[in-house]
Amino acid sequence: MTGPHPATAATRLAVRAVLGEGDPGDLVLVACSGGADSLALAAAVAFEAPKLALRAGAVVVDHGLQADSAQVAAKVGSRLGRLGLDPVDVVSVEVARGPDGVESAARDARYAALSSAADRHGARLVLLGHTLDDQAEQVLLGLTRGAGARSLAGMPRARDRFRRPLLGVTREQTRASCAAEGLTWWDDPMNADPAFTRVRARRALADLERDLGPGVAAALARTAEQLREDADHLDALADRALATLLPPPAGRAESAGQPGDDYPGPAGVGVDALLALPRPVRTRVWRRLVLAAGAPPGQVSTRHTEACDALLTDWHGQGPVSLPGPLQATRSAGRVSIAPPARVE
């Protein structure tokens, strides 16, 4: 008896490992755009989920960024229904183009829609179709930002209810799987528009593969996996250091470093205690302190944490460091505090 195409087998194997997290009767949703990656994922889930007594559905998000997007989304939804997925939600979102560009705004709208659908249907997991190639492109973009190990760690395989089963599967394999299964996928024209950063990264990666030889994408993806372990370890050290520097008030659960907590407080943190931390840990502590003081998470950059660290390592009596919020980091009497700027009456 002939088995599935090798690309289909690889996709199903990757999916099987993630579906094992579920219990019989749980619902798993696939986020599907109709592209080859998410369509191959959906087909693999439709094949594997019944073996584990799992229910499998899908969500198609129409971003409304193209004239025929509603028709495309409806066709994708019908195709997913024919695969046996149920429920299949086709959800329209409004992409509010903000200062970070349409890519970022579309991503935010998409994840909000996926989370809402998961809540509505009581889904255990939401599976995303990012591949090894997407991971390599993410690492390449992280290199251009120069934002450290966490940025180079790429996309996590698991976060909250979201899972990325195909991070070890290539884009070539998902296309081969769809072709072998007789599935017609949709190529989003935005994926060929060089106005978008990710498209330019994709082209740069193709150039590197051509000039340096095959295997660049796989090497970048392996680098992401290794750096994620390093970054996770450093984050854990930073959490422990912060708990030591800023023990929670009596009667309060320990949650230092989370946005919205009222740390670091008026007394601030001792300069000597901060300087005693290894720099890779200390920079992470700075980020946690700034977030804990109320800075918006998406606005705290390496530039801000470096400026805070200069209050320790390059101290010459300089004034406060301006931070998002707005906030200020100020050194005085051997301590550093982070708080809103003093109001001038």
Q: What is the pLDDT of residue 122?
A: 97
Examine the domain organization and report whether 195 and 276 are in the same domain. no
Boundary-marking domain end, from 227, 262, 290: 227
Examine the domain organization and report whether 188 and 85 are in the same domain. yes
Q: What is the pLDDT of residue 247?
A: 63
Residue 234 belongs to some domain of the structure: no
Q: What is the pLDDT of residue 331?
A: 94
Torsion of CA 132, 136, 138, 139, to 10 degrees: 140
Examine the domain organization and report whether 206 and 329 are in the same domain. no
Examine the domain organization and report whether 69 and 215 are in the same domain. yes
Examine the domain organization and report whether 258 and 296 are in the same domain. yes
Examine the domain organization and report whether 45 and 143 are in the same domain. yes
Q: Could you tell me if 10 and 169 are in contact, meaning their C-beta atoms sit under 8 angstroms apart?
A: yes
Examine the domain organization and report whether 164 and 302 are in the same domain. no
Q: What is the pLDDT of residue 187?
A: 87
DSSP string, 66-129: STTHHHHHHHHHHHHHHTT--SEEEEE------TT-HHHHHHHHHHHHHHHHHHHHT-SEEE--
Domain of 332, in residue numbers? 250-339
CA angle 168, 29, 136 (to 5 degrees): 25
CA angle 133, 134, 138 (to 5 degrees): 115
Examine the domain organization and report whether 254 and 223 are in the same domain. no
Residue 256 belongs to some domain of the structure: yes
C-alpha of 66 from chain center: 25
Q: What is the pLDDT of residue 99?
A: 66
Per residue in 126-180, pLDDT (tens digit) is 999 999 999 999 888 887 776 667 777 888 999 999 999 999 999 999 999 999 9
Q: What is the CATH number of the domain that holds 265?
A: 3.30.465.60
Tokens matching residue 119: 């809540």
Q: 175: how many CB neighbours lie within 10 A of its CB? A: 18
Please count the structural domains in the chain: 2
Examine the domain organization and report whether 141 and 11 are in the same domain. yes
The model carries a pTM of 0.79
Residue 232 belongs to some domain of the structure: no
Question: For the chain, which residues score pLDDT lower than 50?
Answer: 250-262, 264
Residue 113 belongs to some domain of the structure: yes
Examine the domain organization and report whether 184 and 92 are in the same domain. yes
Rounded Cα distance, 129 and 156, in Å: 13
Q: What is the pLDDT of residue 265?
A: 52
Q: What is the CATH number of the domain that holds 149?
A: 3.40.50.620
